[in-house]
A and B are shown apart, each in its own frame.
Chain A
Amino acid sequence: DIQMTQSPSAMSASVGDRVTITCRASQGISNYLVWFQQKPGKVPKRLIYAISSLQSGVPSRFSGSGSGTEFTLTISSLQPEDFATYYCLQHSGYPLTFGGGTKVEIK
């Protein structure tokens, strides 16, 4: 199985901060990488697919990058509505595997 190690598991940040979340895959996954956002009590929402393609309707402050085994989700200027938990997903091989999640909290 491909393990997805997400870091940090939690973080505190202020509105306007630049936030970076990392996912490391246990082996190369090409561009089979998706990022999701989940707010408390809500359904996960896709933010980015294929490493860096922005989902329609998602603000441009969200971006994705990376290659091989290391991938990054960046929020360029954190907004109040961005406080949530973020997950990465690899779909290079079965079983599909998610990262453990990064909870972004208000400082």
Chain B
Amino acid sequence: EVQLVESGGGLVQPGGSLRLSCAASGFTLSDHYIDWVRQVPGKGLEWVGRSRNRAYSHTTEYDASVKGRFTISRDESENSLYLQMNSLKTEDTAVYYCIRGPRGVSGTDLYFYYMDVWGKGTTVTVSS
């Protein structure tokens, strides 16, 4: 079964750090882009950032609200991906989802896998 499982959420004080993990099974993580999306309970979805696949050297993109504070990295040997969150703010409080993305930039590789598999999410609470 294709799935993603997030872990590492919790309660952290403002200014603190947290590292979220995303473990993949049923497919090879390095073949796919992976996105992080967050959702404040009761609110809408917000894209956080992306790690491209091995073919694109695992380059990353971030939303302006987290750029310079959040970093996405991968461990291919573990088929896992990480979201390092530093200098956390109260407005970072949300459920964080890890999501499978495309395998390429055109055709089936782009569209067929675009955010087709979501993890169950992990909750991050930033509060003093």
Contacts and interface: CB of A to CB of B under 8 A. Distances in A.
B43 to A, nearest CB: 8
Contacts of B44: 87, 98-101
Interface stretch (A13-21, A44-52, A59-67, A76-84): A44-52
B56 interface: no
Contact of A44 (B45, B64, B114): B45
A25 B78 CA distance: 39
B120 interface: yes
A89 B115 contact: yes
Contact of A97 (B47, B111, B116): B47
B63 to A, nearest CB: 5
A50 B106 CA distance: 11
B61 interface: yes
Interface residues of B, number: 20
Nearest to B120: A43
A26 interface: no
Interface in A57-107: 87, 89, 91, 94-101
28 contacts: A34-B114, A34-B115, A36-B45, A36-B115, A43-B119, A44-B45, A44-B97, A44-B118, A49-B111, A49-B112, A49-B114, A50-B114, A55-B116, A87-B44, A89-B45, A89-B47, A95-B47, A95-B61, A95-B63, A95-B64, A96-B35, A96-B47, A97-B47, A98-B45, A98-B46, A99-B44, A100-B44, A101-B44
Interface of A: 31, 34, 36, 38, 43-46, 49-50, 53, 55, 87, 89, 91, 94-101
